[in-house]
Amino acid sequence: MDIQQVSDTLEIQNLGYRFADAANRRDYPAFKALWADAGVWHIGAPINLHFDGREAIGQAIETLLGRWEFFVQLPHAPVITLAGDTATARWTVMEQARTLDRKTGNVNLSFYDDELVRDGGQWRFLKRAYATRYADETPLAGRAW
């Protein structure tokens, strides 16, 4: 890889890491800034949600995280294919969460399939499509801080 490919690879990895970091720490402005204006966030079965545009996604993350006492996403194994000013990426994520009433847990293993775009000098999400592979809603016995 040349320096441009190396830099693009690290910046696209970083975009996925910032997504998790912003969600995990509930930094909503940081989360919203990761998306292109025309960004699309598609969440497949069994959740089935679809958000069009950075504004809708910025509102969605607040609503979605508002359901959870805690929510942590752990991103893994970014496989990135560069194509000039666009790119694709695949990730495997584990997520752990518990509802505010502490009655329902959520431990899942899911895939993200992403389309990225270089947008004003910065890589951003044009589309993230989420597909659940395994999910367990057994109550979780631990303590959150």
DSSP per-residue codes, 11-70: HHHHHHHHHHHHHHTT-HHHHHTTEEEEEEEEE-TTT-EEEESHHHHHHHHHHHHTTEEE
Choose which of 60, 82, 94, 117 interacts with its own copies (CB under 8 A): 94
Query: Partners of 54 in the beta sheet?
Result: none
Q: Provide the mask over 47-76, with x wherever binding to its own copies is found by CB under 8 A and - wherever it is not.
A: -----------------------x-xxxxx
Candidates 14-22, 33-41, 56-64, 114-122: pick the segment binding its own copies (CB under 8 A).
14-22
Nearest to 109 by CA among 122, 96, 124, 119: 96
**Footprint of its own copies on this chain (CB under 8 A)?**
1-3, 5-7, 9-11, 14, 16-18, 20-21, 24-25, 45-46, 70, 72-80, 90, 92, 94, 96, 98, 107-109, 111, 131-138, 140-145
